[in-house]
Structure formats: C-alpha cells, structure tokens
Amino acid sequence: MRPLDSSRAAEVPEPGLRLTDDAPQGAIEEPAAAEAAGTPGTGRCWLFGSSPCGLCAPQEAKKKAPCPGLGLFYTLLSAFLFSVASLFVKKVQDVHAVEISAFRCVFQMLVIIPCLIYRKTGFLGPKGQRIFLLLRGVLGSTAMILLYYAFQATSLADATVITFSSPVFTSIFACIFLKEKYSPWDALFTVFTITGVILIVRPPFLFGASAAGGGESYSLHLKGTIAAVAHAVFGALTLVILRKMGKSVDYFLSIWYYVILGLLESIIVLFIIGEWSLPYCGLDRLFLILIGLFGLGGQVFLTKAIQIEKAGPVAIMKTMDVVFAFIFQIIFFNDVPTWWTVGGALCVIASSTGAAVRKWCQGSK
C-alpha cells in the first residue's frame, strides 16, 4: 500500500517509463516516491531531526559510497512495510475502502503541509503544470481507492499480484501519449501479464464453473479483481503524467495535490454512497493509524533505495511484495492460495522482472 502515496495506488516507477536515470522499474506502491529520486530535498530533514531522511536527503548524499546491498535491504524493508499496511487494510472491519482512503489522506496531509511550508514551494504549483497536477491528483487518488477496495473484496495475494500488471499499461500509455517506443519485448511482457491475470480471475467461460467457483464469493472476487486491474490502469496513467511533468514540479507539491484531491474525492463518494461512519472498534482505529504509519515508512525506505541502488535490482527485489502477501494471507487468514493464483503470480512476476532486467541492461550499455 502502495500507500503514503500509493497507497500503493500509483506512486512508483514502472517499466517503459523512466522518471529518472535511477528510478526503479516495476515497483508498485507510490509512483511519487520514484520522483523523489530526481528531486530530493535540501538540508536536514524537519521530520527526523539532524539526519537527512529518504524524503529530504540532499543530492550530495548520492556521492557517498553506500554499504553494499543497503539499497536492496531498504527495498526489502519497504516491501514488508507496504505489505503490512495492506494487511491492515484487509483486517479493518466495517470501514469502507473509500473511508480508509480519506483517513490516509488526512494523515499524509499532516506530513506534507509542513514540508511545503519548509521548502517554500507554495500550494498551487507552476501555472503551466496545474492541469497536470490536477489530473495526477484525481487519477492517483482514484487508484488508491480502487486498490483498497480490491484488498477488501478479494484475497490479499490476488490483489497484490494484479497490481504488478501496471508496468504493462505504463508502456502502452507512454507509447500513446509520450511517443515512447513499444518494442516486441513489451508486447511479450503484455501477453505474460494478461495470462497471469486470466489465471487469477478464472472466468467461467474458459475454466468452467468448478474451477472459477460460484455464487456470491466469486462475484465479490471478480469485483475485487476488476478493481485491482483498474488500479493498475489509473496508476499507469499517473506515472505517465509524472513523466510529462518531469522535474519542473516539486515532489511534495505533487503529493499535496494527490492528498487534497483524494480527500475531496473520498468525501464526495462517501456522501453519495452513505457509508461514512467512525470505526466502532478501537482496534480498527489503531489499524487506520498504522496504515498511515507503515505506508509512510514504506515510502521513505523505497525513496532511499531509489537514491542509492540501480533500477534493475530494486525492481526485482520489489517483487517480494507478492511473497509477503502470500505469507500474510496464509498466516493471518488461513487462506492457502490456489495453484491458479500461484501460476498467475509467476506469469505476472516474470513479466515485471523481465521488463526490469531489460531496462537495466539497456541502461548499462
């Protein structure tokens, strides 16, 4: 999840779309975290005291020789924190996904506002980029809501795997809107991803009623799957917009539009569907706080990994999201993934990893 951006809803770089030379390919959560690699803050971090953090580290930090493997460790830790945040989303009872998104936007806003004041960037952004900032905010927040709904409607493993299909859509949209090259390799990765999603969805007209399952449970599973695919699409569009804006817009300003428009969108949707209610259980309230905290922690460590490690290794290590999702699903929900899900996960991960390795090899030439 992908959450404090992300959500996992659309704030991480994808294959076929390079935000910076060091941006990871195929990450799932927080596309804006990747943008931070190109626009780190200056000076010391207001949030973490005297030491520069992953969000505010000065550009000169890249010149220091990091400990070997430290970037991969940060990526692994980020994947774990994002997965735990997703687990809490799944564990929250009687709180709609849109309401969870609203709470997360409020929490993130409390962090972003002091950052904007400290950096003196203003709250509107450059005039020529405001339309893109508005689109980035609406699409990114929609992706976050869809992701949270997917976690609630279908299994943790299925939703997590499907979100890894975002790189495919990113390559397609980048070809259409940014005129980037769409190679035969991209087409092959698209086929792998589609195959993986089909294995997870298991439509009855292809697999039969017995393999797909029936009744209300399959209907809910199908809704969650559609939401996860829609999240991947909206996340890919968000990344294309971030690429279009480039480094002309401050990273925190991009996040500001994301959280403020996400909060407005969540309030409007909650008013329409009439689902607004404070959690009755104290444990649910704790989960809502932890979703924000673990999402923020995941974003910080992912940003730090982007700054000190190459794109390919980060993207490959990021697939640990899927491993953690499978483990958490078995341990906390006593739900063993089917072989169809495992097969679909292998196809999607193969596609994401293949795209990352290809970009890595191209960048090293």
State the pTM of this model. Answer: 0.76
Q: What is the CA radius of gyration of the chain?
A: 19
SS (H, E, C) the chain: CECCCCECCCCCCECCECCCCCCCCCCCCCHHHHHHHHCCCCCCCCCCCCCCCCCCCCHHHHHCCCCCCHHHHHHHHHHHHHHHHHHHHHHCCCCCHHHHHHHHHHHHHHHHHHHHHHHCCCCCCCHHHHHHHHHHHHHHHHHHHHHHHHHHHCCHHHHHHHHCCHHHHHHHHHHHHCCCCCCHHHHHHHHHHHHHHHHHHCCHHHHHHHHHCCHHHHHHHHHHHHHHHHHHHHHHHHHHHHHHHCCCCCHHHHHHHHHHHHHHHHHHHHHHHCCCCCCCCHHHHHHHHHHHHHHHHHHHHHHHHHHHCCHHHHHHHHCHHHHHHHHHHHHHHCCCCCHHHHHHHHHHHHHHHHHHHHHHHHHHC
Distance CA 154, CA 106 (A): 26
Structure-token match 């980037």, residue found:
180
Q: How many CB atoms lie within 10 A of CB 19?
A: 28
Name residue 50's amino acid: S
For the chain, domain boundaries: 70-363
Distance CA 279, CA 314 (A): 37
Tell how far CA 313 is from the center of its chain: 18
Name residue 324's amino acid: F
At 39 the pLDDT is 40
Phi, psi of 97 (to 5 degrees): -60, -35
Mean pLDDT, the chain cut into blocks of 10 residues (365 residues total): 41 40 42 40 44 48 61 89 92 86 88 87 85 91 92 90 85 85 87 89 69 67 91 89 79 85 92 80 83 82 75 77 92 88 90 79 68
Distance CA 15, CA 6 (A): 17
| Closest to 27 in 3D by CA, of 166, 195, 155, 145 | 166
Structure-token match 């968000």, residue found:
238
At 28 the pLDDT is 41
Question: Quick one: CA dihedral 277, 282, 286, 291, positive or negative?
Answer: negative
At 214 the pLDDT is 54
